[in-house]
Amino acid sequence: MAKVFLNGQPVEHPHEVHEHISPMSTYNGVIGALFVLTGLTFAVSFADLGPASLTVAMVVAFIKATLVVAYFMHLKYDDKFHLFVFLGTIIFVGIFFGFTMFDMKSRDALNDEQETFVRWKEQENAGKGLVVGVDNVPERRAKVLAEIEAHGGGHGGGEHGGGHGGGEHKAEAKAEHKAAAH
């Protein structure tokens, strides 16, 4: 038996550390599964699943990522501490994206510049229709509606006497409202 040295000193009773080596059949099976899942992702993009399309695509992507991390990055055979660190990171990234998506979803409902309404369901349930381009702050809404009526909007026969429902006047009042909001 040959002598083993560590830092220039001979080592008594040396032993080798062997990492897990997977057979080629495992890698071929995993790459085959990845190809099948990629084909499934492609097929789902053409299927008319409606809102479920994103969910199905994300589930397939999660499965593919799990296969890559477990087999090609050898996390399946590594210390469980490394798995804990990896999953902890994924959880916190998920939390971050969750808060970001919540913010993006609710941002439209709170922003007057985007002509969206905070209480549109409340108004709709009360039987009051919303005027496009007018928010639901009662004082501002009343002012804009008064301006639209003053210009003859909505009933035809305004200043221009057209039978187009006064759309030109509504557009002018909307532009004035936007200018006043800024």
Tell me the per-residue pLDDT of 20-30, one tens digit each, with 9 for 90 and over.
788 899 999 99
Tokens representing residue 105 in the block: 């979803």
pLDDT at 158: 42
Instruction: Dump pLDDT digits (tens) for 25-78.
Output: 999 999 999 999 999 999 988 888 888 888 888 899 999 999 999 998 888 888
Per-domain residue ranges for the chain? 20-109, 113-181
pLDDT at 137: 64
Angle at the Cα of 32 (from 30 to 37), degrees rounded to 5? 95
- What contacts 68, CB < 8 A, 6 or more positions away? 34
Work out the average pLDDT over 73-92. Answer: 88
- Write down the pLDDT at residue 174: 58
pLDDT in tens, 100-119: 888 777 665 555 555 555 55
